[in-house]
Amino acid sequence: MTRELHGRDVSQALPGLRVSDDAADRVAYARDLWPRHHLAVRAGNVAAHRPGAIVWPESTEEVARIVRWANESGTALVPFGAGSGVCAGILPRSDVLVVDLKRMARWRRFDPAAPLLEVEAGHMGVPLEEKLGREGLTLGHFPSSILCSTVGGWVAARSAGQCSGRYGKIEDMVVALECVTGKGDVVSLPHRTNGQSMVPLVIGSEGTLAIVTSATLRLHPAPTARGFGAWSFPTTEQGWEGMRALFQAGLRPAVSRLYDPFDAMLARQGSVKKARGEKQAQAAPGMGPSALRALLRRPRILNELVDRSSPLLGGALLVLIFEGSGDAPSHDVEEARRILERMKGTYEGEGAARKWLLHRYSVSYRQAPVFAAGGWADTMEVAAPWSKLGALYDGVRHALGKHVFVMAHFSHAYPDGCCIYFSFAGSAAGARAPGTSWDQGCAETYDRAWPAALDAAIAAGGTLSHHHGVGRSKAPRLGAELGEGVGVVRALQRAFDPNGILNPGNLAPSPSPEPYADDIHPRAVRA
């Protein structure tokens, strides 16, 4: 039986710390932004997995005190950044203490000559870049969640930013980590270039090995010039072959995004944000909620219609942005143009690339209208070597397309492979069991679509994740990708956290995994 945790117990054991078990706080820390949770919220089941209490440490020493007490008392801990994860990495119970690190946001050591910065884990993304910009520097890490994510969250989830082509992912930026293990030991982990390095183990461990308290990050001069360009391709495959040619020729655009035909059509139309005085868009072009729900209940027909109409949509669209100083970005655009036009790309000018930069974070707000209209939306980011990219694209699209409407773009490219970012929208299936609410029907569609897509990614030789992490949503399929590697993950968890108090149930699959958390909606809502 679960022993409920109370804030007074924590306060008595850890005097001097800010602790709360207020009902509003417990609701606020009950989940991350996993889209399946949104269905429960829409049905009125706002927070089925509330923690017992929340604590806000202000120093590494306080984090170590919390962990040592939790280890001795058998209290589970969930490290918390800003809650913007989308894979159910946060799913506490009433016997769990959430450790919110956002009060740890200091710059500890800044060396502009190196340039390096040691910053605490709770620092939010936008203030970090604004402060670095005033020093003429940048981390170069711009995830779509930068408005609502922290340095510690980036490290925990192995995050990627929109400019990864030039600056790399977060694991390329980390020089050293400070963290607290499950035993309460404070350890400093330098990124070794020879011998064994522990840093790559902690990056991407999603709070299951240690609580990250600070990171030393490699910085770059802030760009003083940019070069923009966009190219259309008759087919998506020709577009990704163009991307491959660019990266294998040694070019490193900060941003390289290839949209398949339907996603390209949306990119050409503009963004969610409108100019002042301009009418806001509806949930879907020309559609009210009823029409959108009706279309999403027949995803196969909708996907087939889009495929047949691909030539009329204008083909695939590749957007490139180069960053640097002086004339270098402009010269890179010209070199890219020579390469891409040999690959059947048609230059479309700078407009689409400039528009993307202007609205680079608008994608974060596109799900809400779909949920408000009675459907649901989600994303899935997978990756593969170039030789397997076609099989990955076709396999996942086909698997998802049976259940949801799907489109994709390609980003985070490398000389040896690329990430595919699928966006999809669904609804309740055409036929629901008697007594099944609309939201339960949507959840059933969700639960069929995701496992099918993950299985297709593995079958094609791809990954389950590129930069969103694994969480609990993908953990049941992790063994299919890693095989015996899951045993290695569990062994690492035991070594760092012998009593298993750090975010239990996250990342590695349980011996008898359920596909998803049991938060099916207890109350029906009108369709």
pLDDT digit string (tens) for 225-237?
Answer: 999 999 999 999 9
Domain residues for the domain of 142 are 107-221
What pairing do the DSSP bridges indicate for beta strands 210-218 and 220-221?
Answer: unpaired
Instruction: Based on the fold, state whether residues 290 and 434 are members of the same structural domain.
Output: yes
In a domain, 73, yes or no: yes
Q: Is the pLDDT of residue 517 over 60?
A: no
CATH number at 86 reads 3.30.43.10
CA distance 470 to 507: 6
Instruction: Based on the fold, state whether residues 115 and 96 are members of the same structural domain.
Output: no
- Candidate from 159-168, 203-212, 264-273, 295-304 with smallest mean pLDDT: 264-273
pLDDT digit string (tens) for 141-192?
Answer: 999 999 999 999 999 999 999 999 999 999 999 999 999 999 999 999 998 8
Percent of the chain's residues with pLDDT above 90? 75
CATH number at 270 reads 3.30.300.330
Instruction: Based on the fold, state whether residues 124 and 79 are members of the same structural domain.
Output: no
The encoded tokens of residue 201 equal 């183990």
Q: What are phi and psi of 326, to 5 degrees?
A: 60, -140
Q: What is the pLDDT of residue 431?
A: 57
Is 0.85 surpassed by the pTM of this model?
A: yes
Question: Are 189 and 196 within 8 A, CB to CB?
Answer: no
More confident residue, 171 or 527: 171
- Candidate from 182-186, 215-219, 477-481 with smallest mean pLDDT: 477-481
Instruction: Based on the fold, state whether residues 126 and 203 are members of the same structural domain.
Output: yes
* Sequential DSSP letters for 342-379: HTT-EE--SHHHHHHHHTTTGGGGSHHHHHHTT-EEEE
> 525 pLDDT band (50/70/90 cuts)?
very low
Distances in whole angstroms, Cα of residue 262 to Cα of each of 323, 374, 405: 28, 22, 11
Question: Are 316 and 260 within 8 A, CB to CB?
Answer: yes
For residue 292, the tally of other CB atoms under 10 A from its CB is 22
- Candidate from 256-265, 288-297, 351-360 with smallest mean pLDDT: 288-297
Question: Are 169 and 161 within 8 A, CB to CB?
Answer: yes
In a domain, 514, yes or no: no
Q: What is the pLDDT of residue 437?
A: 86
Q: What is the pLDDT of residue 429?
A: 77
Q: Is the pLDDT of residue 318 over 60?
A: yes
Instruction: Based on the fold, state whether residues 399 and 293 are members of the same structural domain.
Output: yes
Q: What is the pLDDT of residue 526?
A: 35
CA distance 394 to 461: 12
What pairing do the DSSP bridges indicate for beta strands 18-20 and 417-426?
Answer: unpaired
Q: What is the pLDDT of residue 196?
A: 84
CA distance 33 to 245: 36
Any bridge partners for residue 226, and if so which?
Answer: 323
More confident residue, 195 or 213: 213
Give, to the nearest 10 degrees, the angle between helix 438-459 and helix 35-42: 170
Give, to the nearest 10 degrees, the angle between helix 386-401 and helix 299-308: 130
> 266 pLDDT band (50/70/90 cuts)?
confident
The encoded tokens of residue 4 equal 């409920």
Instruction: Based on the fold, state whether residues 178 and 67 are members of the same structural domain.
Output: no
The residue from 442, 459, 476 where one domain ends is: 459
For 445-461, what is the mean pLDDT?
Answer: 96
| SS3 state at 197 | coil
The residue from 414, 430, 459 where one domain ends is: 459
Name the maximum alpha-carbon separation found in the chain: 70
Question: Are 329 and 353 within 8 A, CB to CB?
Answer: no
The answer to whether the bond into 329 is cis (omega within 30° of 0) is no
Question: Are 5 and 25 within 8 A, CB to CB?
Answer: no
The residue from 70, 100, 130 where one domain ends is: 100
Percent of the chain's residues with pLDDT above 70? 91
> 86 pLDDT band (50/70/90 cuts)?
very high
Closest CA to 359 of 405, 319, 406, 418: 319
Identity of residue 233:
F
Sheet holding 116-120, edge to edge: 107-111, 116-120, 210-218, 174-181, 186-190
Instruction: Based on the fold, state whether residues 270 and 394 are members of the same structural domain.
Output: yes
Q: What is the pLDDT of residue 311?
A: 76
More confident residue, 313 or 412: 412
Mean pLDDT of the chain: 90
CA distance 155 to 207: 10
Q: Is the pLDDT of residue 125 over 90?
A: yes
Instruction: Based on the fold, state whether residues 35 and 53 are members of the same structural domain.
Output: yes
In a domain, 440, yes or no: yes
Any bridge partners for residue 347, and if so which?
Answer: 231
CA distance 177 to 189: 5
pLDDT digit string (tens) for 132-154?
Answer: 999 999 999 999 999 999 999 99
For 383-409, what is the mean pLDDT?
Answer: 97
Q: What is the pLDDT of residue 87?
A: 95
- Candidate from 172-181, 279-288, 448-457 with smallest mean pLDDT: 279-288
Please calculate the CA angle 360-464-359 and round it to the nearest 5 degrees: 5
Which residue do the tokens 């490193």 mark? 252
Instruction: Based on the fold, state whether residues 54 and 163 are members of the same structural domain.
Output: no
CATH number at 166 reads 3.30.465.10
For residue 489, the tally of other CB atoms under 10 A from its CB is 20
| SS3 state at 327 | coil
Give, to the nearest 10 degrees, the angle between helix 299-308 and helix 289-296: 90
Q: What is the pLDDT of residue 433?
A: 66
> 267 pLDDT band (50/70/90 cuts)?
confident
> 508 pLDDT band (50/70/90 cuts)?
confident
Instruction: Based on the fold, state whether residues 383 and 303 are members of the same structural domain.
Output: yes
| SS3 state at 520 | coil
For 324-332, what is the mean pLDDT?
Answer: 97
In a domain, 205, yes or no: yes
On the 0-12 / 13-18 / 19+ scale of CB atoms within 10 A, 390 is middle
> 515 pLDDT band (50/70/90 cuts)?
very low
In a domain, 270, yes or no: yes
Distances in whole angstroms, Cα of residue 317 to Cα of each of 22, 229, 257, 264, 408: 49, 11, 8, 5, 11
In a domain, 337, yes or no: no
> 3 pLDDT band (50/70/90 cuts)?
confident
pLDDT digit string (tens) for 398-449?
Answer: 999 999 999 999 999 999 999 999 999 999 976 566 777 888 899 999 999 9
Closest CA to 366 of 448, 425, 439: 425
Instruction: Based on the fold, state whether residues 94 and 119 are members of the same structural domain.
Output: no
In a domain, 341, yes or no: no
The total number of structural domains in the chain stands at 3
Q: What is the pLDDT of residue 346?
A: 96
Q: Is the pLDDT of residue 253 over 60?
A: yes
For 332-342, what is the mean pLDDT?
Answer: 97
